[in-house]
Amino acid sequence: MQTLIPDDLRPLCRVEDIPDNDAIGFPAAPGGFTGLMAVRNGETVRVYLNSCPHIGTPLDWTPNKFLSHDKKFIICATHGAEFAVTDGECLRGPCRGDYLEAVAFELRDGMICVPADAGL
């Protein structure tokens, strides 16, 4: 049986599509400018705008490369700022103390769904 997703939600992927302790990116919604990224640690998932709070550039230096080598931090490709995976707080870099913009999401039978206008 296929999960029905209302029009006001946009499906990103299934939780298991994100490797454990890793992150993947998603394009902007149609008509939007800013993509999204989702990071997974076990069954815990967080979704953020793929945008550095310092100057708004995408975080990944190549597609789906968001995390530090040890997978402990989200790294901004532009200037190396380090963000906590757990809450998006910038711990080191020019935007220290700022936060990545968290995106609300729902899990629908294991599918990560965000508001259709997320990133607009």
Tokens found for residue 88: 């998006």
From residue 54, alpha-carbon distances to 10, 43, 78, 94, 104 in Å are: 27, 30, 10, 7, 21
Paired strand residues for 49: 36
The pLDDT assigned to 68 comes to: 97
User: How many CB atoms are located within 10 Å of the residue 68 CB?
Assistant: 13
Count of structural domains, the chain: 1
DSSP-assigned letter for residue 24: E
Residue 77: give the domain boundaries: 9-107
Residue ranges in the chain whose pLDDT is less than 70: 1-3
Residue 120: inside a domain, yes or no? no
* CATH code for the domain in which residue 46 is found: 2.102.10.10
Residue 94: inside a domain, yes or no? yes
DSSP-assigned letter for residue 16: G
The pLDDT assigned to 5 comes to: 84
Residue 119: inside a domain, yes or no? no
The pLDDT assigned to 30 comes to: 87
